[in-house]
Chain A
Amino acid sequence: MLDQNFEQVLEANKEKIYRICKIYAINPIEPQDLFQEVVFQIWKSLSSFKGNSTIDTWIYRIALNVCMRSKLKFEKSNDKKVRLEAIAFKVADTSIDESEQEKFRFLKQCITTLNESDTLIIVLYLEELSYKEIATVTGLSENHIAVKMKRIRKRLFDCINPKLN
Chain B
Amino acid sequence: MEEYHLRQIWKSSSKNEYISVDKNQLIKDFKAGMEGREHIVRRRDRREIIAAIVGIIGFGYTLYLYSNLISFIGSILGILSLVYIIFKLRNHRKSKFTKALFLPIHDQLVNQKQFMLGQFKLLNTVLYWASFPLFFANTLIIWGISKSSQPLSIVEQLVYKWEAKLMFTFLIAFFFVYIGWLNKKAAKVNWRPLIKQIETIINNLKNTDN
- Contact surface of A with B, Cβ cutoff 8 Å: 1-2, 7, 10-11, 14-16, 18-19, 22, 35, 40-41, 43-45, 48-49, 58, 61-62, 64-66, 68-69, 72-74, 79-80, 82-94, 96-97, 100-101, 103-104, 107, 115-118, 120, 126-128, 136-140, 144, 147-148, 151, 153, 156-157, 160-161, 164-165
Contact = CB atoms under 8 A, between A and B. Distances in A.
A148 B208 contact: yes
A86 B22 contact: yes
Interface string B195-210: 0011011001110101
Interface residues of B, number: 54
A40 B30 CA distance: 7
A84 B15 CA distance: 21
A69 B9 contact: no
Contacts of B98: 69, 74
B26 interface: yes
A100 B9 contact: yes
A1 B30 CA distance: 12
Contacts of B34: 44
Interface string B13-28: 1111111111111111
Interface stretch (B105-113, B146-154, B158-166): B105-113
Given A61-B102, A86-B26, A160 B17 contact: no
A144 B18 CA distance: 37
